[in-house]
């Protein structure tokens, strides 16, 4: 069993003041695979104090120095990519091929994109020709508390740590206590790259503990959090007393609108996207809206995709769906699948219980519901598991109304060969992102949502700006 009981504070690995051990569970077999320690107030205080001390010098470094550091981090990250994939696969159950091809590479993808954005970012600008002696300065916000989830560990860690470094901020990272091993490896990489003491700190802990300590801490200037809307609300309330900036990336309940002229692979592509990472993605297209004339065919295609989806442990080679991350998530998903049945949705694939052949591990059957109405629980709540709900619609207007009838607003999807239809619908969807015809967003595109999906934008120039204050200076 792996033992990772130390924290990274002020440039060195330190033992917690009052260690409280926690077992990390392998979701594929429900066995402990590692032991970490959870931090207390004194550990959080020490990390914040180190970040505060380091801020005075790090905030004044030249852009070129910060770029050089992040370039070294990228080189080391790539050199340890297989270690990273193995850590992610073990801790959160991603099949090893998915960990190698999607999970670990998400980190290097974001590091490269931030480097590109930062190289051309101007931290000092003229206001305009009308005011030649006015300057607009973009300055680091200060000490940042970074709280990241377990579902895409390096995706979220790099989306926060890297722009914070590039803008001159210092930070305390609290990764998910459910999947902390990849972040501990990332801390080794950051240290090996020569990051100055105190600039980057890591303290393991849970939300009520270290998470709350960071969000209420008077010496933390900003909280960047990715997770549930419930936790985001609590963090916002905790941070209000100190008036710190709060950046939230929260959940989603994405609609995938499939028009009659969609390409022949649209339904299969949407179902596979929903099941990717065992359905544990906030931007998953979990509500598939299909025009009535093509509805029965779409239901049959989605059923076939689910029935053909292999399920297996994370260390098994090949392309398959792994377990969900924990007993808590497993129980929540099982309850919502049963809720769908009880509320009258038509179960066409999957259902309650583990897949055939599994009597342990947090494995969920790839599940498809048809004849779902948008007032059902499975259409309202973020399930965060491999569960697809299919809803019929008659007109474009009705499809837009159904898609927007949710508290969330992260990502929606449109499938149509008609560019006018796509563009018209995209403008009316109330979400921070719209992806069409299976085309992913480009490098440096902002990730973020509206409504209960949060208030931040991560990635590219927008990700840098979230860690910057704007200062207006006259008489330059």
Catalytic residues: 249, 282
d(CA 3, CA 160): 26
Query: 69 has which bridge partners?
Result: none
What is the spatial distance between Cα 443 and Cα 66, in angstroms, rounded to a whole number? Answer: 21
Identify whether the C-beta of residue 237 lies closer than 8 Å to the C-beta of residue 210.
Answer: no
Q: Which two tokens stand for residue 285?
A: 């297209």
Cα 318 to Cα 302: distance, rounded to the nearest angstrom: 22
Instruction: Report which of 247, 260, 348, 363 is spatially closest to residue 304, judged by C-alpha positions.
Output: 348
Strand pairing report for 468-473 and 346-349: unpaired
The C-alpha atoms of residue 398 and residue 291 are separated, in whole angstroms, by 10
How do strand 387-393 and strand 367-370 relate by DSSP bridges?
parallel
Sign of CA dihedral 453, 455, 460, 466: negative
CB pairs under 8 A, 24+ apart, for 60-68? 60/168, 61/168, 63/118, 63/121, 63/123, 63/166, 66/118, 66/165, 66/166, 66/167, 66/168, 67/115, 67/118, 67/119, 67/166
Contact yes or no for 409/419 (Cβ under 8 A): no
End-to-end, the C-alpha distance of the chain in Å comes to 60
Task: Give Cα 73 to chain centroid, integer Å.
Answer: 21
């Amino acid at each position: 069993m792996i033992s990772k009981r130390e924290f990274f504070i002020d440039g060195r690995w330190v033992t917690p003041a009052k260690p409280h051990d926690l077992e990390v569970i392998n979701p594929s077999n429900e066995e402990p695979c590692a032991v970490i320690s959870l931090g207390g107030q004194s550990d959080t205080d020490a990390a914040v104090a180190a970040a505060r001390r380091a801020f005075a010098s790090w905030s004044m470094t030249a852009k070129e120095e910060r770029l050089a550091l992040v370039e070294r981090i990228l080189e080391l990250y790539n050199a340890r990519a297989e270690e990273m994939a193995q850590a992610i696969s073990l801790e959160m159950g991603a099949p090893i091929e998915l960990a190698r091809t999607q999970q670990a590479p998400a980190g290097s993808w974001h590091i490269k994109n931030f480097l590109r954005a930062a190289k051309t970012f101007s931290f000092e600008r003229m206001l305009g020709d009308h005011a030649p002696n006015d300057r607009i300065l973009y300055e680091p916000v200060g000490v940042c508390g970074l709280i990241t989830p377990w579902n895409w560990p390096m995706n979220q860690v790099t989306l926060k740590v890297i722009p914070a470094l590039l803008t001159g901020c210092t930070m305390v990272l609290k990764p998910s206590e459910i999947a902390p091993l990849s972040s501990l490896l990332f801390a080794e990489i950051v240290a090996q790259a020569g990051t100055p003491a105190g600039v980057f700190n890591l303290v393991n802990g849970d939300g009520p503990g270290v998470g709350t300590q960071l969000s209420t801490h008077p010496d933390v200037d900003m909280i960047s959090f990715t997770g549930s809307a419930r936790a985001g609300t609590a963090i916002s309330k905790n941070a209000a007393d100190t008036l710190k900036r709060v950046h939230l990336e929260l959940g989603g309940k994405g609609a995938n609108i499939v028009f009659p002229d969609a390409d022949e692979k649209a339904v299969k592509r949407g179902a596979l996207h929903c099941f990717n990472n065992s359905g544990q993605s906030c931007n998953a297209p979990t509500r598939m809206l299909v025009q009535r004339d093509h509805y029965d065919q779409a239901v049959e295609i989605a059923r076939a995709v689910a029935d053909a989806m292999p399920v297996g442990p994370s260390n098994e080679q090949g392309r398959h769906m792994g377990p969900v991350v924990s007993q808590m998530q497993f129980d929540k998903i099982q309850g919502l699948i049963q809720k769908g049945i009880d509320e009258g949705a038509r179960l066409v694939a999957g259902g309650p219980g583990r897949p055939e052949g599994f009597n342990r591990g947090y494995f969920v059957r790839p599940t498809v519901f048809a004849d779902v109405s948008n007032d059902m629980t499975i259409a309202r709540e973020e399930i965060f598991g491999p569960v697809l709900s299919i809803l019929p619609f008659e007109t474009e207007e009705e499809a837009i109304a159904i898609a927007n009838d949710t508290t969330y607003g992260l990502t929606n999807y449109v499938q149509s060969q008609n560019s006018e239809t796509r563009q018209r619908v995209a403008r009316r969807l109330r979400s921070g992102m719209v992806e069409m015809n299976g085309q992913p967003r480009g490098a440096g595109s902002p990730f973020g949502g509206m409504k209960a999906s949060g208030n931040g934008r991560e990635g590219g120039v927008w990700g840098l700006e979230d860690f910057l204050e704007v200062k207006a200076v006259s008489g330059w």
